[in-house]
Amino acid sequence: MAKALLERPSVASDAVTAAAPLAPAALEPYRRELTGYCYRMLGSGAEAEDAVQETLVRAWQHAGGFEGRSSVRSWLYRIATNVCIDMLRHVQRRARPMELGPASPPLESSLGSTLPEATWITPIADDRVSPERSDPAEVAEYRESIRLAFVTALQHLPARQRATLILCEVLRWQVAEVAELLDTSVAAVNSALQRARATLGALPADAHPGTLDEADAALLERYVAAFERYDLDGLVTLLHDDAIQSMPPFAMWVQGAQDIAAFMVLPGPSACRGSRLLPITANGCPGFGQYKPDPAGGFAPWALQVLEISGGRIAAMSFFLAVDDTRLFREFGLPLHLDP
């Protein structure tokens, strides 16, 4: 489970904001942290943006009724929680391919058909949700609390348990504050926390990425060079022996450095030969926008890659394929075409 990440502004800052007129400009500074909260609740960057926008619209519409008995921040989180719970009432749990079945052999025939976007946990750009702080401990805690595996694990919790655990253990709210926000008792919050921890504790363990350092930056440089040359022998040396590659919207996933390399030279995947990579950061991890050669010239969006690094090698590669949909590239501010 992720350790707590302190994202709260100071009490003094909250009080000043609460005393100010509730114009849209007074609410906008909360957008970033609300997006992080809603993303952890919903597991989708696009849905998190929609939830935050709905939260701010509701807040603007009811600003006249805000009496200042709680901070503006608490009031906004109450609205955001209700919005997310409403959105979660009639949807399936989002997942990653590794939860849907065992690893597949490195055969193109294993790909199967694509599944709807609502099936998957999707990535989010760090610059939309990361705290604007430079303390190494806080950065490490942020990375742990936003990584794909942790957000996936959260989806196993009922909505109110999910909100309780995020507020108490990620955002470090006091139990009494969470009880007030959820209109429940302190005992009920403690009970929900206990059940949530038990559920997460029963899930399969997942290796945690370490703090990136200069050696990891050099590793990423070698990865880009090997991938763009399609030097698969070189790529294998950068992967853990049991590394994982997944490719939403396909349920197929491959485990093992050699199997990953074998899959990448099949007729379909080998079309990625000659790709270009542009760096991004997503879910506290390094990544790349991958562009493969466009028959019409230049390079077209193909996949958003999120890499997890552990012990000086790559442990997991999540390739979110842009199958007839470049929305993720737009969300990350990436160009929709590269010139030759």
State the Cα–Cα distance between residues 249 and 231, nearest whole angstrom.
25
What confidence score (pLDDT) does residue 64 get? 67
Burial (CB count <10 Å: 0-12, 13-18, 19+), residue 138:
middle
pLDDT at 14 over 50: no
Number of H helices, E strands in the chain: 16, 6
pLDDT digits (tens, 9 = 90+) for 131-171: 876 677 888 888 899 999 999 999 999 999 999 999 999 99
What confidence score (pLDDT) does residue 62 get? 78
pLDDT digits (tens, 9 = 90+) for 180-193: 999 999 999 999 99
- Contact (CB, 8 A) for 43 and 151: yes
For residue 228, give every residue at least 6 positions away whose Cβ sits within 8 Å of its Cβ, in sequence order, or none: 274, 275, 276, 277
What confidence score (pLDDT) does residue 221 get? 96
pLDDT at 38 over 80: yes
pLDDT band at 69 (very low <50, low <70, confident <90, very high): low
Q: How remote is the C-alpha of 68 from its chain's centroid?
A: 33
Q: Mean pLDDT in the chain?
A: 89
The type of residue at 311 is G
What confidence score (pLDDT) does residue 150 get? 95
What confidence score (pLDDT) does residue 137 get? 80
Third-level CATH fold of 214-331: Nuclear Transport Factor 2; Chain: A, (3.10.450)
Q: Please state the pTM of the whole predicted model.
A: 0.89
State the Cα–Cα distance between residues 242 and 240, nearest whole angstrom.
5
Q: Which residue has the higher pLDDT, 15 or 90?
A: 90
For the segment 60-89, the average pLDDT, to the nearest whole number, is 85
State the Cα–Cα distance between residues 162 and 160, nearest whole angstrom.
5
For the segment 209-224, the average pLDDT, to the nearest whole number, is 84
State the Cα–Cα distance between residues 269 and 272, nearest whole angstrom.
6
pLDDT digits (tens, 9 = 90+) for 110-134: 999 999 999 999 999 999 998 876 6
- Contact (CB, 8 A) for 166 and 146: no
pLDDT digits (tens, 9 = 90+) for 230-268: 999 999 999 999 999 999 999 999 999 999 999 999 988
Beta-bridge partners for 114: 250
What confidence score (pLDDT) does residue 208 get? 64
Burial (CB count <10 Å: 0-12, 13-18, 19+), residue 187:
exposed
pLDDT digits (tens, 9 = 90+) for 258-313: 999 999 999 888 889 999 999 999 999 999 999 999 999 999 999 999 999 999 99
Greatest C-alpha distance within the chain: 64
What confidence score (pLDDT) does residue 67 get? 60
> What angle do helix axes 72-88 and 45-61 make, rounded to 10 degrees?
130
Residue boundaries of the structural domains of the chain: 11-201, 214-331
For residue 55, give every residue at least 6 positions away whose Cβ sits within 8 Å of its Cβ, in sequence order, or none: 34, 38, 76, 79, 80, 83
- Contact (CB, 8 A) for 178 and 167: yes
